[in-house]
Structure 1
């Protein structure tokens, strides 16, 4: 019997969330076998608000608003004949074709590059970037893209805006903010994935100065002038970035607190995943992998003890993490798993993955995945199951940061 997954399709935003989740599950390295994804995502939202794992380049934070602005400028009669989502699908496919033609074959990050000739872009940039556009107040609304589409098509004058006072224009003209109103931005001579200096300055301000984002990584990198250091932050691995920012006096204490908690969580959760893979290797009779993973656990345990990552304050911080002032809903069995693993690890006197440690990890896999647990199904060992060290979307964020930095440096004019 073939398994199927379905969902009730309320809006393009709902579709986007499901597609993003499926895209993440397609990568073996992101399978959340032990149920830590809610905490991981909470720290990612704290450190890199507005950034998602399937974003590719900063330029789409400009491309999508330009298309939205163009739709706004259509006569209302044309809007009624062509809904926003249909317009965006047509225009974003055309934009992709233009980018493929205009840009070098080595240009990275063009969404839909490999699918445009065989059916069009599978996941539209407007869907991928809408959450970030709202977070950075480039799209001045709390509404979903589907809700905005309905409002614009029906020519409604009032949309559900946030972060605006009564004296501010609440009509649709205030919906989208852009650095300029360039009418020929899609000309072949101008179209490119790199940011102009004007675009980079606009985006940097939005990503670092918007209320509520002051303690984000981007905001603190620019505020502390780390972007101009001997080694650019976007050239660093996540652990290097953490080390640099924790020792930088000009980085805010709130940012350091979040970074330290996230970094400790990343190291702490490496251990249970080593044990998970050890159990799978044992079930498959892979003695060589069992030996390697046992040694890997010993090395991890030494680092975890040296850094005291399972101290009470850290564990409580992981389980009570708040984003935008609101606590994240963390599954009770995951909370229990983390507390039990921490207590058992601290009580042990050696660096081996003892039987009680293995039992805690096995139980969590079964509780979290049920019949789909890799341990329950005695799945073939595939070298690594689940996450390794977490970077909380840094791999995506540093590409965006590099685009901003190069634009600000007038690399692109």
Structure 2
């Protein structure tokens, strides 16, 4: 049996490790060809503080409300247990409030393993709502050192700047509803919605998320580049969105080819037919002329993000794949070079667990791995914007 562990040096390392663990469990983070660092760099430029496991926006308030009301105890384990109990109570309160979409743990109940705090903790810091710099465990351990009055003090604007370092949550955090853990809904009040918009604009003023949140930028668009007001986006965001569209379209072909190759190795005619049809549709819609004019040098420069390191083998694979698409105008009839490129990439990433090299791993394959266009967390951002607009 294999295991993955890390030494908890700081919050940034913890968050990187948690993102790694999510790769094994979340559909939208499946990264069969090692493109995750590029995908997340673009997503963090456009929609900072979001993640693929976030559900509803009001959790950005639920979590600080619960943690700000924790009672200091001498044992950090008791604090952590109380936090868990209250998050389960929140789940029950949302069910009692007839919330049927986005409740974390709605089916797991008291057996819930991934609590809301673990899902939103990083985003709360990115948005400037959480001032405490450490992990959830560090918060529980530090709680006894704060007075309850300071921990719950969110008023008195004249002194809020002085309390920044001693207050774990933003001093203007709206008051929690009195019946929060009895009956709760995802509906934001006007004050709560304004608070979230202010935090986004203050903490990430150049992000597309802040721009859309401050302008009711919700839209029924499957991809951010099909947003009806994309022409009105700030110039930097508009360029990154254009890069995202081209990159997503180009690498979608590689993902489809990967699934087709595995289907052929498995000898499943239904799967083969499905991916052949999808590849044919992709070729038909592929904008070869736009790819010809796309500068990879500018792409790397404008989408790079300090939180994500794109390694040289990944850059090389993307560059070679783009050159192949340019030469064949979207994969020609001869697949040999494309097949070799995709198989070599997967073998180098997975090594002994490669589905091309490991028969047992290939036999466990269920017929689909990352066979979708990258969305860069737009679906999560869109739901947050919908919740915000209702508020």
Measured against the shorter chain, the TM-score band is: 0.7 to 0.9
Match of 1:210 among 202, 222, 225: 202
Q: Deviations over 1:123-167 (max 9, x none)?
A: 1211211111111111124333333333323349999xxxxxx96
Q: CA deviation at 1:374?
A: 1.8
Q: Closer, same or farther in 2 for the Cα pair 1:198/1:172, shift >3 Å?
A: same
Match of 2:230 in 1: 246
Match of 1:354 among 335, 343, 347: 335
State how 1:137-156 maps to structure 2 within 5 Å. Answer: 137-155=128-146
Q: Closer, same or farther in 2 for the Cα pair 1:20/1:187, shift >3 Å?
A: same
Q: TM-score, normalised by structure 1?
A: 0.80
1:272 aligns with 2:254: yes
State how 1:293-304 maps to structure 2 within 5 Å. Answer: 293-304=275-286
Paired positions, count: 376
State how 1:252-401 maps to structure 2 within 5 Å. Answer: 252-287=234-269, 289-290=271-272, 292-306=274-288, 308-309=290-291, 311-314=293-296, 316-318=298-300, 321-323=303-305, 326=306, 328-348=308-328, 351-352=332-333, 354-378=335-359, 379-380=362-363, 382-401=366-385
Q: Closer, same or farther in 2 for the Cα pair 1:171/1:360, shift >3 Å?
A: closer
Q: CA deviation at 1:63?
A: 1.0
Q: CA deviation at 1:304?
A: 3.2
Match of 1:163 in 2: none
**CA distance, structure 1, for counterparts of residue 384 and residue 162 of structure 2:** 31
Higher mean displacement: 178-187 or 273-282 = 178-187
**CA distance, structure 2, for counterparts of residue 284 and residue 257 of structure 1:** 41
Higher mean displacement: 177-186 or 261-270 = 177-186
Q: CA deviation at 1:367?
A: 0.8
Q: Deviations over 1:271-290 (max 9, x none)?
A: 11122122212223345654
Match of 2:154 in 1: none
Q: CA deviation at 1:313?
A: 1.4
CA contact (8 A) 1:20 1:54 kept: no
**CA distance, structure 1, for counterparts of residue 103 and residue 307 of structure 2:** 36
SS for the counterpart of 1:25 is coil
**CA distance, structure 2, for counterparts of residue 11 and residue 123 of structure 1:** 22
CA contact (8 A) 2:43 2:377 kept: yes
SS for the counterpart of 1:194 is coil
State how 1:17-36 maps to structure 2 within 5 Å. Answer: 21-27=20-26, 30-36=29-35
RMSD: 3.2
Q: TM-score, normalised by structure 2?
A: 0.84
